[in-house]
Amino acid sequence: MDDHREQQTCNVVTSQTLRAAGVTSVEISRAVDCCLIRVCRGVYSIAVACTVPRHARIHELITDTAWTEQFQDSSMAERIEDRAIRAKLARLEVMHYPHYRRGDVVSGVSAALLHDLPMFDLPLSPLTVMHPTASTLSPAIRRFRRAVPSADRAILSDVEVTSSIRTSLDLIEYGGPVAGFAALEATLRRGVHQRYGLKKRLGFANPRVLADIGRNLVAQDFAPAALRLARGRRRALTLLEHISPLSESYAESRSSFNLHLLGLHDFDQQWNVAHDGDFLTRLDFLHRQTMTALAVDGSGKYEEFGRSRLKRESYQHNMLLTMGYKVVHFAFRDILNPQVFGAKLFQQAPELLKFRGKPLRL
């Protein structure tokens, strides 16, 4: 179930490689923040195709031009402030950290970086590992004395790491239940696709089939992994009762989590709506009894796809209203606070209050 997609090299070089190419230690230090980014001790990424003559030997080591192109139109300092770039650099540190011990298993947020799991506002450093007998706490690495069963390990980028399922379960502890929930849903979605060779658009054609397959996978693979946890089993199993492979983004996972916190467990996800026999739209969430639809993080879609999408979704929105649907729109900031989410939802759709069941308790 773990992802083995090919990744960018990002022009990673060691200090030994640079010195072998004729770059002195003094010039390596001077090149940091000019064309080199320090990934970790003794490891660098060549981020800029530098024109400084004394850095010519560094320039010759560039093999990943797609990486350097990302730094062309802004300063290195500006690009490093971008969270996606910082996540990439943190991932490179996990891949190339030179001082792993025998028995180390990368875990937590560090493992989530390798598995490319969705995260929001979690600290990307220090590097986190588990070890059966040793513990360490330093600015560079946190090593916890904790054994990891072989069934919960994987190899990614030549690094031993907790499996994607175990990593997602561990994020409940590292980042709270909402972080674990989003990671578990992403892992489940990937697992359904990979295990059954399904096309990514299956959920578009028949989301119910995808949901049923997901529940089977939870029982087969996720629940046993939760039972192997040394602690936090009950909370993990509670979350597993509610995860679905139908969430297509972190925002949708977080919205689903909020609904369960509110006791609203009967929303359908990825619900297809037809009009006059033709497909009209697919709803992120639908409460069929009240015909209440939730549209999540719409502004991000418009920024990504432009005005044409905005115009099309405006037409779809108007058609839904004429068909009797009520549509509640949530920006990303609305979903970050469950209280804000709930207040907005019940203010615009108070009829949902009578459908509340037992809230998710963790």
CA atoms within 13 A on the CB side of 215: 7
Confidence of residue 308 (pLDDT cuts 50, 70, 90): low
DSSP state letter for 355: G
184 shares a domain with 129: yes
Distance, CA of 125 to CA of 147 (rounded, Å): 21
Taking CA atoms, 333 is separated from 106, 120, 140, 219, in Å, by 31, 12, 32, 33
* Mean pLDDT on 160-185: 98
Confidence (pLDDT) at 200: 54
Residue 313 Cα to chain centre, angstroms:
26
**Please, what's the b/e burial string for 180-210 (b: 16 or more CB within 10 A of its CB; e: otherwise)?**
bbbbbbbbbbbbbbeeeeeeeebbeeebeeb
Q: Are residues 261 and 312 in the same domain?
A: yes
Q: Assess if residue 169 is contained within a domain.
A: yes
- Average pLDDT (1-9) is 63
Q: How do beta strands 43-46 and 12-14 pair?
A: antiparallel
Instruction: List, as own/partner pairs, every contact residues 348-351 make where C-beta atoms lie below 8 angstroms and the sequence separation is at least 24, other chains included.
Output: 349/287, 349/290, 349/292, 351/290, 351/292
Residue where a domain terminates, one of 82, 117, 144: 82
Looking at the structure of the chain, the number of domains it has is 3
Boundary residue ending a domain (32, 55, 82)? 82
Domain limits at 351? 248-355
Q: What is the value of pTM for the model shown?
A: 0.91
Q: Which residue has the higher pLDDT, 87 or 207?
A: 87
Give the number of other Cβ atoms within 10 Å of residue 263's Cβ.
15
> For residue 303, what pLDDT is reported?
41
**Separation in Å, CA 332 to CA 2, 6, 250, 300:** 28, 30, 10, 8
How much is the pLDDT for 49?
94
Any domain includes 7: no
pLDDT at res. 234: 97
Say yes or no: 208 and 107 in one domain.
Answer: yes
Classified as helix, coil or strand, 193 is: helix
Q: What is the mean pLDDT of residues 340-360?
A: 98
What mean pLDDT is predicted for residues 202-211? 72
Identify the domain boundary among 175, 199, 216.
Answer: 216
Q: Quick one: tokens of 308?
A: 């044409």
What pLDDT sits at residue 243? Answer: 98
Burial of 30 (0-12, 13-18, 19+ CB in 10 A): middle
pLDDT at 151 over 80: yes
What pLDDT score was predicted for residue 311?
Answer: 56
Average pLDDT, the chain: 91
Segment 12-59, tens digit of pLDDT: 999 999 999 999 999 999 999 999 999 999 999 999 999 999 999 999
Instruction: For the chain, give the percent of residues with pLDDT over 70.
Output: 91
In a domain, 229, yes or no: no
The verdict on 174 and 110 lying in the same domain is: yes
Catalogue the long-range contacts made by 263-267 (C-beta closer than 8 Å, 24 or more residues apart).
Answer: 263/356, 263/357, 263/358, 263/359, 263/360, 264/352, 264/355, 264/356, 264/357, 265/357, 266/355, 266/357, 267/294
Both tokens of 353, joined, read: 């209050």
Q: What is the mean pLDDT of residues 206-230?
A: 94
Of 34, 42, 43, give the one whose Cα is nearest residue 11.
43
Does 268 lie in the same domain as 159?
Answer: no
CATH number at residue 312: 3.40.960.10
Judge whether 21 lies within some domain.
yes
Instruction: Please tell me the predicted confidence (pLDDT) of residue 105.
Output: 99
Terminal alpha carbon distance of the chain: 27
CB atoms within 10 A of CB 311: 11
328 neighbors 317 (Cβ within 8 angstroms) = no
Answer whether residue 223 is part of any domain: no
The confidence score (pLDDT) of residue 208 equals 84
Residue 235 included in any domain: no
Q: Is the dihedral of CA 292, 288, 275, 341 positive or negative?
A: positive
Distance (Å, rounded) from C-alpha 306 to C-alpha 303?
A: 6
Of residues 309 and 196, more confidently modeled: 196
Residue 107 sits in the same domain as residue 201: yes
Q: Same structural domain for residues 123 and 78?
A: no
What average pLDDT does range 200-227 have in this prediction?
85
127 and 154 co-located in one domain: yes
Task: State the average pLDDT over residues 123-145.
Answer: 96
CB 143 within 8 A of CB 207: no
The distance of Cα 208 from the centroid of its chain, to the nearest Å, equals 24
357 has pLDDT over 70:
yes
Of 121 and 14, the structure prediction assigns the larger pLDDT to 14
Find tokens 């450093």 and name the residue: 125
Please check whether residues 114 and 205 belong to one and the same domain.
Answer: yes
Domain membership of residue 1 (yes or no) is: no
pLDDT score, position 201: 56
pLDDT at 343 over 80: yes
In terms of Cα–Cα distance, which of 313, 240, 261 is closest to 283?
313
Predicted local distance difference test score (pLDDT) of residue 307: 46
Q: Do 309 and 338 belong together in one domain?
A: yes
The predicted-structure confidence for 263-291, as pLDDT tens digits, reads as follows: 999 999 999 998 888 889 999 999 999 99
Q: Give pLDDT, residue 305.
A: 42
Q: Does 90 reside within a domain?
A: no
> Do 123 and 50 belong to one domain?
no
Nearest CA to 250 out of 199, 202, 185 is that of 185
pLDDT at position 275? 86
Query: Residue 300: which pLDDT band, with cuts at 50, 70 and 90?
Result: very low
Same-domain check for residues 257 and 351: yes
